[in-house]
Each structure stands twice: as C-alpha cells, then as structure tokens.
Amino acid sequence: MGEEWNYVCLRVLVVCVFFLSVCVDSSGVKHYTNKWLVHVPLGEVVAREVARSNDMQYQGPDYDNDGFHVMAKDDLPLKSFDHNEDITNRLNSHSLVTTAIQEAVKARSYRGAVYPRHVVPKSTTTSSKTSNSVRRSHMSYFKKEKMISNYINAFNDLRWPDMWYFQDYRTSENQPVVDMNIVPVFFELKITGQGVNITVPDDGIQWSHPEILPSFKQELSWNYILNNKNITPSTDDNGDIKAHGTRCAGEIIMQANNKICGVGAAYGANIGGIKFLDETSTDAREAKVLKYALEYVCIYSNSWGPADTGTIMEHLSDLIKMSFTKGIHQGRDGKGVIYVFAAGNGKADGDNCACDGFVNSIYTIVIASCDDSGHVTHYSERCASIIATAYSGAGFEKNVLTTDVNGQCTDKHTGTSAAAPLVSGIIALALSANPELTWRDVQYLLVWTSQVVPLSDNFGWNRNKAGFYYSVDFGFGLVNAYKLVKEAQTWQNVPEMSSCGIRMPKVRGFPISRSRAVRITVNSTGCEGLSGEINYIEFVQLVLSMTYPKRGDIQIAIRSPLGTECRVLDSRPKDFNTRGLNRWTFTILAFWGESPKGNFIIDVFDTTGKSSNTGVILEMTLSIHGTKDIPPIYKNGPRPYDEFKLAKPGDKPRFLHLGSMTKAKNVDVLRNDDQRQQIIRDAAHNYDGVHMSDYKESNKQNTQKVNSGMTQKTKKKRLKTDLLKMELDDLLNREVSILPMNPLVHDVAINPVVDNDLLSSEEDPAVV
Ligand SMILES: [Ca+2]
Ligand SMILES: [Ca+2]
C-alpha cells in the first residue's frame, strides 16, 4: 500500500478515535469484500471468459440485477480496507464490460434515533415588538390554556388524540392551518389511499401487529438478508426486537376505528416491508431493494441512508442509479415509482444532506422535519435538494405516534425517519385520488401545495423569481395533505422533461484558497434551439471536482440567471477528508419554475478553514432539468400562498410547542442566553458516536463514561473534541444565510467559455 493509503488509514483511525463514530472511510465504506459485480450484457458465457482472463472465479449471474455477474478474487481476504482499484480499473477497461463495482459493506443509519432536544432556535429566545394581523391571531390562539382539537372525535382509536400533527386546534377558520391537514382528505374527499401499494425498506416489519396485519401484503415484502419472505425483525445486541421498520410502517398504515393505537396517513392503502437493513448494507443489496416488486409497488418509503457522521460523502453507485432509472421508467406502468427519502439527522454533527448521494438524485423526494412548534429540529439536515417538510419530534417534546413491536403503540418515534413516512402516506392519498400522476407530477404537487405559514417563524425563506418560496431547511414548506390531494384530483400532467448540459472547460486549474474564493459566471441559453431546450427549470445539478486539503471547509453558493440565491453546501467541521471532491453532484431545487437563460453565478469559498488551505478546480458542469413547454398549472399565474409574514431577527416567536401549553414553567423559551449556550454544549457533547441506539440508553452510557474518570490522554482528546464542539456550536446557532455572495468573495469573476453541447444527464441518459 502506498503512502497515500497509509495516510488515509491514519485519518480513518483518527476520526474513529476522536469522534467514536461508526468506523467508516469518508466514502461510507466499512470494508471491501473480495467480490466484484460486473455488468456483462452479452451473458454468462462471455462473463465467464471475462472472469477467466482476469484470473477471477466466476460465481454466477446476479439474477435480481439484470446483466450483472458476480466474480470473486479468492486469493484476497474476505474483508479488507484495500479497495483494489487496479482490479476494478482492469475490469472496467475490458471491451465487453459496461461497468464493474467492487462489493463494499457500507455503514447505514436509521433516520430515527435522535437525542432529546435541548436546543432552542435563535428566533424563540429573542424578543421584539413586531406584530401583524396573522401574528395576533396566532398568539391569541396559542395563549389559550387548554386547546381542543376540532377532530378529537374523528376516530375511536385510543391514542388518536395524541396524534397532534393530524389535529386542528384552530378556534376560527380565519386562522392558518398548522397541522398536516389530513383529516378533511379522509372525510370530505373520502380518500384513504385505497389501491396504492407502499413498501418500507428497513429492518423488517412486525406484520402480525393488529394495526398492520389487515393491510399487509406479502407480495410487497422480501427479506434480502436471508433471501426469503420472512420479514420479521431480528433482535439487536441487547436482545430487543428491532422496531424501526415497524414504527415507520405504522405511521402509514395504522387501521382506523379499531379502538387501538392511532390512524395511519394512508390507512386504506396496502403495505409491505423489505428487510435489508442490518446496520450495514451493500450496493448490490440496495439496488435490489429499490426495484423490488416493481410491478406492484407505487411508493418506496425510505427512512435510512449513509451514516450521518458529517464525515462521509457517498456517491450513488451505478447499480443504484440503474435501479432508480428502472423504477422511474418502468414502475407504475411507466409513470414512475415514488422514492421518498428522509433528509438525514446529522445536523448536530455538522452533516449536510448535500453530501448524501441518495438525497442528490432527482428521483428521490427528500423530506426534512420540523417540531411541534414549526421550528426546524436540531437534527434535521439542511440542503438544496429538500423538497418538503413534515412534522416529527425531538425526544422530550411531542413525537410521532405509531405502532411498536410486540403489538405495542409508541409516541416516541422521532427523526426525519418519522417525517418521511407521513409524506409517503400523503403521496399515497394523492395517487389514490389520481392514479395518472407521474413521478414528476408528484414533485410539482409538493412544490405547488406545501405551506410556508406553519414554518414562517424560521429564517432563511427566499422567494424565487417564479414565485416559489424555498428554504434549504424545509424545501417548499410543510406538506398539506388536503391541498395536495385536492390539487391532484384535477391535475394535468406536466410536459415532457428536457435536460440541458453546460460544460465549463476553462475552469480547470482555477485556484481557490482560504483567502481567495472562486466566482464562476457561466452563461446559459437553456439549450435554446436544441432538443434539450428548457424554459422552466425543475432541477439544477452542479457537478464539481476540485482538490482541497480539508473537504469539510468547502462551501458553495449559486445564483440563478434571474437573481435567486441559494446556499448549496455548508462547511462540515468533522469532514477532514483530504481528497477534495470527485465529480460530486449537488442538486438544487431553489430555482424551480424559473427560466435558465442568462448567467448562473457559482461561488466556491472557504470561510472556516486554515489560512494555508489551498486547492484547484478540476471540473465543473451544470445540468439543468425542466420543461420546454409551460406546465399547465403555471398558465394561471404564480402559485398562490396563504397570508403570512416571515420572521425577522429579533421577532418574538409566534408558534410555541404544544407541550408548553400545559407545562409553561419548564419551557425552553424561558431560559436566558447563557443557559441556552450551556445546553447546546451539553447536547453537542452527547451526540458523539451514537447513531443506532435509543437516546435513553445513550444518555445512560454517556453518564457512565463521564463517571468512569478520564485519563490524561482522554482529556487531551476531549480538549480537541471540545474545540470541535465550539465549531458545532457556531453551526447550531448560525442563522441561515442564503448566500454570502459578497463580501466573502475576494476574487474577480471569470467568464469561462460556455459549451452548450448536450450533456447526458447525470442520472437519466434516456432523457437526452
Ligand atoms: Ca388504530
Ligand atoms: Ca446525512
């Protein structure tokens, strides 16, 4: 192994020791196997020959992954940190091989385990005198001592009153809706998800639970760990049955009016589960999962992903991309299956969902979470690929009610894990209302109907020039089931998708450092006159390769031709990777509906790193996806919004926690600034190294760790960790600044030659 690899190993070790994180490398790999998945379209005879000529053992076709064959290198160890790039390269250069992937075991996190929230958003701790009519109505409503839901008698299920996110506490119809507005879909529109098949890829489902059993479908279910149909969850190291999948499924499917537990978001739909999550996974396994039972499944509800350590950037492998493409082109009779993904829970670890390959796919619907007061949760990651938000909990406060293993019911489900299934259920209602919706129609519906009002206490909202409000914390807003389904009923399909690529060959070699930011101005015609012509943007994808001594110091912002600004990447204090970015794709939804004609301005900068930081841009391209023709919904003018006023720094909070209504003496809002800082520090300390376990257990362990005393060495480590915590404190407290365009940019703009030749889309070669 070369010196560089030794250095990487040392890095991995350092990261593991200091942060007690899941021990993985910076691309998410725990270890490599001695097997390769090799795509040989000409079949088994040719594949055998490819294996033989590479001195490998042919192990047979991978039946679930079309055209792939398994080849092993028996003289290599079964587990290794060495990625044997030479073998992969040799296979890839073979004329009869499309692509070869070394099978790696990757770390996977549930999006459900978070610590109790101690952190209060800045806006709730400051005061001011601002007021307006909307605000007054909120305050008067929230000042009521005892609130009664308008839907309290809607169902007879025992814990229905605890499902606060489906309740409507308004005392007057003039007040804005601040729940997910789902009950009117059940009763007024009479839609409950009938005919829609949803599967939950996770750690299995206790399907015999009385809240799940009546809607459970075996054909939507498979166990990819043992390759059989038994999806009953396994036990964890403590002998407890794994509950995550059962909890996520319950949110969608809990039976209505059976007097037990609660009511699912699409209780009339069908549910299945794919058991594959074993705290680790492989590309081959996930590729199968994401196209399993494609002839039946409408929605894959995913509350898992790469570990949220803030140290990983995991590309989607070709295998996964091929599954997504297949699901989108062949699923739902060509209308495309719906892939819902949780945004990630790593915010307190400095993670950013722009560094998650699944999140950056245009095919995934990425859901962030807010708490019961409509504030961003302390764990929900931020990025420009988030499309919408759902309620979730944060531990101490109101959480999500759902089924639990052993036939139980729990009100402790949290994380973006709890937010995503609510949206999967609501999308099922829309598909039930209008089965003709395509995967893109569903995205448009979320863009068109998600609400800013319940989230308007947060900073960082920005209205784009097509009239859509967008926030990198929340996407286009809180999902509103009634508005979405109502719109779906009369929705006209959006026009065909176009993709337009812009190369920037002259940016190669452009230097960037701590003191010199790069600003790149690139002219776009929107591929006018070409087959990829776009007049209405959906997604903009920035593909970037660059060198940099600490990857976590790279920050990126972008401005659209019409002047809308968007932060693409925040710094990630824990990411010490030294290799920069290698064709990383960032996906940006903030310019939805705008015209792509004019200058895009891209800033790459570093405001947090060492003064010695220096790197160069190696490659940059923009891919724009959208439509040439006007989507029918745009013809009547910009999207209407309910009245709201966005919070400004210094505003008093308008939305309080539901829990605080009855326990006013203990509300976080009462704490002073010093107390708040201490709480944040304590909370940040507790986040170390825990991803899969329940927060109570983790707190216990942390207490034991502290009580067991520290050696001198531990103290030193702690000091370093504390320094990092200070950076994290900054991160947690930082207001969302949309774009630091000036004054952080120290360099002059460059104007590279623009090559508007069509690029094939990153993910969808079939489009162009
Ligand atoms: Ca029930
Ligand atoms: Ca993440």
**Ligand 1 midpoint to CA 454 (Å):** 27
Where are the CATH 3.30.70 domain residues in the chain? Answer: 24-107
Written as one letter, the residue type at 478 is L
**Rounded distance from Cα 355 to ligand 2 centre (Å):** 7
CATH topology of domain 178-489: Rossmann fold (3.40.50)
pLDDT over 90, % of the chain: 63
pLDDT reported for residue 506:
81
Q: Rounded distance, CA 573 to CA 353, Å?
A: 14
Would the pTM of this model clear 0.85, i.e. be above it?
no
Judged by its nearest atom, the ligand closest to the C-alpha of residue 111 is 2
Q: Looking at per-residue confidence, does 491 or 750 come out higher?
A: 491
Classify domain 24-107 by CATH number. Answer: 3.30.70
**Greatest CA span in the chain, whole angstroms?**
77
pLDDT band at 280 (very low <50, low <70, confident <90, very high): confident
Whole-number Å distance, alpha carbon 430 to ligand 1 midpoint, is 22
For 611-614, the CB contacts below 8 A with 24+ separation are 611/514, 611/515, 612/514, 612/549, 613/513, 613/514, 613/548, 613/549, 613/550, 613/553, 614/511, 614/512, 614/513, 614/514, 614/549
Indicate whether 734 pLDDT > 50: no
Do residues 522 and 502 lie in contact, with contact meaning Cβ atoms separated by under 8 Å?
yes
Ligand nearest to the CA of 251: 1
Q: What are the start and end residues of each CATH 2.60.120.260 domain in the chain? A: 498-631+739-750
The per-residue pLDDT of the chain, averaged, comes to 81
How much is the pLDDT for 716? 53
> pLDDT digits over 451-481, tens only?
999 999 888 899 999 999 999 999 999 999 9
pLDDT digits (tens, 9 = 90+) for 54-78: 999 999 998 788 889 999 999 999 8
**Considering every ligand atom, which ligand is closest to the CA of 163?**
1
So what's the architecture of 498-631+739-750 in CATH? Sandwich (2.60)
656 or 767, which is more confident? 656
pLDDT digits (tens, 9 = 90+) for 190-238: 999 999 999 999 999 999 999 999 999 999 999 999 999 999 999 998 9
Decide if pLDDT at 549 tops 70. Answer: yes
The residues, ordered by sequence, that sit 6+ positions from 405 with a Cβ below 8 Å of its Cβ are 206, 209, 233, 241, 242, 243, 246
Q: What pLDDT does residue 112 have?
A: 76
Three-class secondary structure of residue 495 per DSSP: coil
Rounded Cα–Cα distance for residues 285 and 287 (Å): 5
| Digit-coded pLDDT (tens) for 89-123 | 999 999 999 999 999 999 888 887 665 444 333 33
User: Given this model, what pLDDT does residue 115 score?
Assistant: 55
Our CA angle for 741, 746, 752, nearest 5°, is 80
Q: Categorise residue 648: left if φ over 0, alpha if ψ from -120 to 50, beta otherwise.
A: beta
pLDDT of residue 395: 64
Catalytic residues: 202, 244, 417
Question: Which residues hold their Cβ within 5 A of ligand 2, which is an ion?
Answer: 308, 344, 346, 351, 356
Expressed in angstroms and rounded, the spacing between residue 162 Cα and the centre of ligand 2 is 29
- Please tell me the total number of residues recorded for the chain in this structure: 768
Higher per-residue pLDDT: 768 or 245:
245
Amino acid identity at 308? D
Query: Hey, how many other C-beta atoms are within 10 angstroms of the C-beta on 668?
Result: 20
Determine the Cα–Cα distance for residues 762 and 179; give it in Å rounded to an integer.
37
> What spatial distance separates the first Cα and last Cα of the chain, rounded to whole Å?
42
CA distance 239 to 606: 46
Reply yes or no on whether the pLDDT at 664 is more than 80: no
- Residue intervals of the chain classified under CATH 3.40.50.200 are 178-489
Instruction: Give the integer Cα–Cα distance in Å for 489 and 194.
Output: 15
Q: State yes or no: cis peptide before 121, omega within 30 of 0.
A: no
Taking the centre of ligand 1 as the mean of its atom positions, its distance from the CA of residue 257, in whole angstroms, is 6
Q: Which residues make beta-bridge pairs with 500?
A: 624
